[in-house]
Structure 1
């Protein structure tokens, strides 16, 4: 009974905040007003409260620009968590653009949609990301290329790390800062989540969004660690494959620190 009441209240709150802010953000994006970067932060702060997510931030997001954040990805809630912390945009798979409502949200947050399986488009996609980086937008790359079960880090894909070097080659910037970010869901109702309960919030690729969303809304009261690691500054001579491996190692180490409940 309590779970269903929580679901109804959260859904009603989500509908209300969407009705109020979505048309406003649509106007901001169409007019190019600078508030288009700030409004998603407000929206996601409200949504994370509705979901019952408590965020624990360790470290700070780098101040250098251009800045690319290389993060792990285990849940659709990662979007809410990162967006509630800072003004960011996401590099998302092309299918997201077609999702009902959530695709519109992604577009209004000025996401860049990529087709990872079409290698012939890699350069054009990297160029779009590079332009956004050079313009000062903080872009989030979920470097695993898919969602995990929340207990481990999958191998980082190397292709879109090349966008950072494209920004150096094709724009006026001389360096790009890459910062590793680890997102780890650690507790539910104040109790350690553990491997058994982490699927409550994890969203592996074969699980439909609807049931995952409803299940999470019913449960409520989650704790998540977000760790910002030591940033790395790259230039035109940097090796993107070595960079991807380094980011993977850093994110894995930070995630394990959170899962083992160490500050």
Structure 2
């Protein structure tokens, strides 16, 4: 790993644990199989969804993406709370803190669009082909000279009216702390003249969802499906409008402070006022700066 790549102090042993009551092994196994089946269905149906979206427009693609992402979260036993509503501006750069691989379907369930991910994701079973077919923009994090090309591709997508989602911490944190927002991706918003939509993601219990350090994916999957009443909240903060910040560093800092300030002032999860809610079924993805 290159020394310049962002890292978090979180470790599986110190952060990815929880003491709350857990679901039984049978229910956990059912959730695991259902979740994997939901992901696999996305891979199989992606070509048909792409053809349908080509014929009927991007709105159809977004609707299908929301339905699939919600199905994945429900299958894994995750309840979702949404606070706030998306702004109506054309095109936006969505930036969120990063806790878990669950962040990806969570953002897609509320703000579907194109994701920025590390190039290694292409080779992942199931998720790799799905990400590629879903229009994911890939970045080779070990090759700095490719960064301007990726930023230019992001700007082109934003100019075309697309929504692009990024986790600018560049690494997963457990949710009890937050990393610095790297400024590179914010240049695309400046070049395209679009708004930045800060998003705050929280999980309860936090340790069950955290996917940090060298945590194996299978171990993280099992923690998720064995957690009882695992709840994800996605909070849509006021957008940062075009022209309100002069450069990418100040824009990144403004988004980072918005997310961090929201975290510091939030009441406990149980008393959050929610705009909408998605119940669960009854039954560190590390990204670039």
Normalising by structure 2, we get a TM-score of 0.77
1:51–1:221 Cα contact (<8 Å) kept = no
Map of 2:247 onto structure 1:
239
Alignment CA distance shift 1:115-1:220 (3 Å):
farther
Structure 2: how far apart are the matches of 1:148 and 1:94? 20
Alignment CA distance shift 1:15-1:53 (3 Å):
closer
Superposition deviation, residue 94 in structure 1: 1.4
Map of 2:163 onto structure 1:
138
Aligned counterparts, 1:1-263, within 5 A: 3-18=24-39, 20-29=41-50, 33=54, 34=57, 35-167=60-192, 175-185=193-203, 187=204, 193=205, 198-235=206-243, 238-258=246-266, 260-261=268-269, 263=272
Superposition deviation, residue 252 in structure 1: 0.8
Q: For the aligned residues, what is the CA RMSD?
A: 2.3
Alignment CA distance shift 1:151-1:18 (3 Å):
closer
Structure 2: how far apart are the matches of 1:135 and 1:22? 25
Secondary structure of 2:215's counterpart equals coil
Q: Which has the higher helix share?
A: 1
Alignment CA distance shift 1:107-1:205 (3 Å):
farther
1:66–1:137 Cα contact (<8 Å) kept = yes
Instruction: Say how many residue pairs are matched.
Output: 246
Secondary structure of 2:95's counterpart equals strand
1:65–1:136 Cα contact (<8 Å) kept = yes
Structure 1: how far apart are the matches of 2:245 and 2:254? 16
Superposition deviation, residue 215 in structure 1: 1.8
Instruction: Choose between structure 1 and 2 for higher RCO, CA contacts under 8 A separated by at least 6 residues.
Output: 2
Structure 1: how far apart are the matches of 2:267 and 2:166? 22
Structure 2: how far apart are the matches of 1:165 and 1:125? 14
Superposition deviation, residue 235 in structure 1: 3.8
Map of 1:170 onto structure 2:
none
Superposition deviation, residue 85 in structure 1: 1.8
Superposition deviation, residue 13 in structure 1: 2.3
Superposition deviation, residue 214 in structure 1: 1.8
Superposition deviation, residue 236 in structure 1: 10
What 5-or-longer segments of structure 2 have no aligned partner?
A: 1-21, 273-289
Normalising by structure 1, we get a TM-score of 0.84
What 5-or-longer segments of structure 1 have no aligned partner?
A: 168-174, 188-192
2:114–2:165 Cα contact (<8 Å) kept = yes
Structure 1: how far apart are the matches of 2:228 and 2:76? 6
